[in-house]
Amino acid sequence: MRTLIGLLLLATAFAGDDPPPAELARVGERLRPLHTKLGKPQPGDWLAAHEEPGQTFAHYLRARPVRAVGTRKVLYVQPLGSFTAEQRKIVRLSAEFLGLYFGLEAKVNDDLGLELIPANAQRTHPSWGVHQLLSPYILDRVLRPRVPADAAALIAFTAEDLYPDAEWNFVFGQASLRHRVGVWSLYRNGDPARDAKSFRLCLLRTLKTATHETGHMFSIRHCTAWACNMCGSNSLQESDRYPLALCPECLPKLLHATRVDPLQRFEKLIAFCERQGLKAERAFYARSLEALRSE
C-alpha cells in the first residue's frame, strides 16, 4: 500500500543540499529484499584472486569521498581514438545513461586522437597479438591535465583494448578514486553492428563498465557483500553475472555523492531501458521504484 506521507518524507529528504545519512541508508534498507547476497567466489573470479575488505556506507562517509559539489556538477565523456558508427552510438547512449544514473548533466567532448599516446604507453599483447593502450598513462597524462573546472568527472571511452601494467593481460576500464578521471574500453563488449541483439548486449556491457568506473571516481570501492554493479570482475563472463543496479550498501553512497533524488532517478532509468529494449534492467528498476513508493 502506497502512503502519501512516506513519499513526501522521501522527497523532502532529497530537496535540500545534503540528505541526512540516515535517510540515505533507509533508501538502501527498503531495497534490500530485491537484492542477492554475494556467494562464494567461483574459480577465476575477482574475489578469488584479490583480497578486498569491502566498503560499508559508514566507511564510505568517513573516507571523505569525492562528490559532485560546488561547481563540479558535469560528467564529461571524452571519445579517444576512432569508432565505427555503431560504437559511436554506444558512446552517445552511454553518456546519456551516465547522466541519468548519477543525476548529473553529461556532455560529450570532441574526439582526441591516439597520437597523444606515445609508443611506450602502447603494446601488442605478446600472446594475443592485440593492440592495447596503457590505461594509467591515459588517466595521468591525457585526462588529468584536461579536467574542466566544472567537471564532476572526465570519462574517456575508447574502442582500443586496455592494460594497466606489463603483468596484466587487460582491464575493461580503470578509474582514479581521487582525481575525477577514468577510462574504459568497448573492445571486449561484442560487435554492436552484427544485429539488434548484439547491439543491446554491447550497450549493456558498456553501461556496466561506464557506471562501475564512474562509481570509483566518486570513491566507491568494490562491493564484496552483494551481487552489485560495483563488484570487481576478472572476465566478461563474471561481469555478465552482475546487475546494472547498485546494492543496498552502494546506492546510498551514490545518493550522497551526487544528491540525486532516488525516485526521479529510477523513473528516468526505467524510461531509458524501455527505449533501448533492456527488459530485465527495466523490470528491476521498476520493482525498485515500487519498493520506495510502498510500505
- pLDDT less than 50: residues of the chain: 1-13
| pLDDT tens digits, 63-99 | 999 999 889 999 999 999 999 999 999 999 999 999 9
The 10 Å Cβ neighbour count of residue 93 is 17
pLDDT at residue 9 in the model? 41
pLDDT at residue 217 in the model? 86
pLDDT at residue 295 in the model? 57
pLDDT at residue 161 in the model? 94
Q: Is 182 helix (H, G, I), strand (E, B) or coil?
A: strand
The grid cell for 284 is 528491476
Which residues does 116 contact at the CB level (< 8 Å), separation at least 6?
Answer: 142
pLDDT at residue 12 in the model? 43
* CA-closest candidate to residue 75, choices 56, 103, 53, 55: 103
Cα distances (angstroms) measured from residue 186 to each of 105, 247, 275: 22, 25, 21
The grid cell for 90 is 554506444
pLDDT at residue 17 in the model? 65
Predicted TM-score (pTM) of the model is 0.90
CATH superfamily for 49-260 is Collagenase (Catalytic Domain) (3.40.390.10)
Dihedral class, residue 64 (left if φ above 0, else alpha if ψ from -120 to 50, else beta): left
The 10 Å Cβ neighbour count of residue 155 is 28
Query: So where are the chain's domains?
Result: 49-260
Q: How many Å apart are CA 253 and CA 249, to the nearest integer? A: 7
| pLDDT tens digits, 110-154 | 999 999 999 999 999 988 999 999 999 999 999 999 999 999 999
pLDDT at residue 16 in the model? 54
Q: How many Å apart are CA 52 and CA 3, to the nearest integer? A: 40
